[in-house]
Amino acid sequence: MRGVIMHAPGDVRVEDRETPTLVETTDAILRVAAACVCKSDLWPYRGIEAVDGPAPMGHEYVGVVEQVGEDVENIEVGDFVLGSFFASDNTCEICRAGYQTHCVHRQPGAATGAQSQYVRVPLADGTLVATPGMPDDDLIPSLLAASDVLGTGWFAAVAAEAGPGKTVAVVGDGAVGLLGVLAAKQLGAERIITMSRHADRQALAREFGATDIVTERGDEGVARVKELTGGLGAHSVIEAVGTQESMMQAIRSTRPGGHVGYVGVAHDVALPGEELFFSGVHLHGGPAPVRRFLPELIELIWDRTIDPGRVFDLTLPLEQAAEGYRAMDERRAIKVLLAP
């Protein structure tokens, strides 16, 4: 089969790879209907994370079940399914509490190599959720978004306790931040402030429910959020970047007693204890337990209540994956869908 391999920073190629087969009796093999490039794929692409030899890429996928191991019960051959980037059993105490990314049997690198024609998914019963039937083509981008960026933005909004009567601020205008806006809107937030300086992303944020745009960053961005909230700060702040500046901007934009939901993967971040202490905010985040939200998100997509697939502003055949990476690296695209 064909699949994406990263050889070195900036060097992404589509090559022949061995088609995956069942390894454990709890595995499933999917024929990938759509995959995509994640912002986290850009860390090694940009040389910020090391690339240890040729690495199969991709961890977001939707597809049709081709084979299942003999212990798989909830998923059948022919089902259209999606799952998150962590495999989880969905039955342990941690999963039952809604933290499947911390499942006691979790497999973080589970569906690695999903930018390809086929992918093996471990713990299929716990990890995968089937759609009510075969989706119309136009639903596929939204279902694919649910498998990572929507699930992550949704978790951030839940962690930030977005809800009725709340003012929500969003730091980060990538796919996750934009879908955090969509999630906050769905959760009933009264006012949603997006921090963005890109016209196209501002426009999509408004479509998703943003009521205010703040173009300033850092301390000036914080001051602007305070101005918009009677000097108090937002009730709920979504952090979707993962840098020192973005974390501090999020914490400082939150009112005392308010909630920060942070899902940007922390790179070289150290939170000053004394400032955090006197801020009085709640802090919650981490790798999003997307699996918790999948049934609800699939329903909202199936009913066409939400259209998170709008974040894919470039669709390419799998064979042109290298161009997809370039477009995201150069910020010509918010998020790139790859069709095998």
Binding residues vs its own copies (CB under 8 A):
93-94, 97-99, 101-102, 104, 230-232, 242, 244, 247, 255-257, 262, 265-274, 276-287
- Residue 103 or 318: the one with the smaller Cβ distance to its own copies is 103
- What span, in angstroms and rounded, lies between the C-alpha atoms of 165 and 170? 16
The distance of closest approach from Cβ of residue 3 to its own copies in the complex, given in angstroms and rounded to an integer, is: 28
The distance of closest approach from Cβ of residue 256 to its own copies in the complex, given in angstroms and rounded to an integer, is: 3
Single out the residue of 304, 293, 276 nearest to residue 156, CA to CA.
293
- Residue 231 or 295: the one with the smaller Cβ distance to its own copies is 231
The pair of three-digit structure tokens given for residue 30, joined into one six-digit string: 């999917």
The distance of closest approach from Cβ of residue 8 to its own copies in the complex, given in angstroms and rounded to an integer, is: 24
The distance of closest approach from Cβ of residue 145 to its own copies in the complex, given in angstroms and rounded to an integer, is: 22
- Residue 188 or 272: the one with the smaller Cβ distance to its own copies is 272
- Residue 72 or 251: the one with the smaller Cβ distance to its own copies is 251
Residue with tokens 């070289």: 268
Beta-strand pair 61-68/80-83: antiparallel
- Residue 188 or 257: the one with the smaller Cβ distance to its own copies is 257
- Residue 153 or 308: the one with the smaller Cβ distance to its own copies is 153
In 197-269, alpha helices (H): 199-208, 218-228, 244-252
How many degrees, rounded to 5, is the angle at CA 138 between CA 181 and CA 328? 55
Amino acid at 18: E
- What span, in angstroms and rounded, lies between the C-alpha atoms of 223 and 136? 45
The distance of closest approach from Cβ of residue 312 to its own copies in the complex, given in angstroms and rounded to an integer, is: 26
The distance of closest approach from Cβ of residue 217 to its own copies in the complex, given in angstroms and rounded to an integer, is: 19
- Residue 70 or 268: the one with the smaller Cβ distance to its own copies is 268
CA dihedral 174, 175, 180, 185 (to 10 degrees): 110
- What span, in angstroms and rounded, lies between the C-alpha atoms of 108 and 307? 28
Run of H or E residues at 65: strand 61-68
The distance of closest approach from Cβ of residue 105 to its own copies in the complex, given in angstroms and rounded to an integer, is: 12
The distance of closest approach from Cβ of residue 257 to its own copies in the complex, given in angstroms and rounded to an integer, is: 4
Run of H or E residues at 47: none
Residue with tokens 């429910």: 209
DSSP 8-class letter at 280 = T
Residue with tokens 């010509």: 332
Q: What is the DSSP string of 148-170?
A: THHHHHHHHHHHTT--BT-EEEE
- Residue 136 or 268: the one with the smaller Cβ distance to its own copies is 268
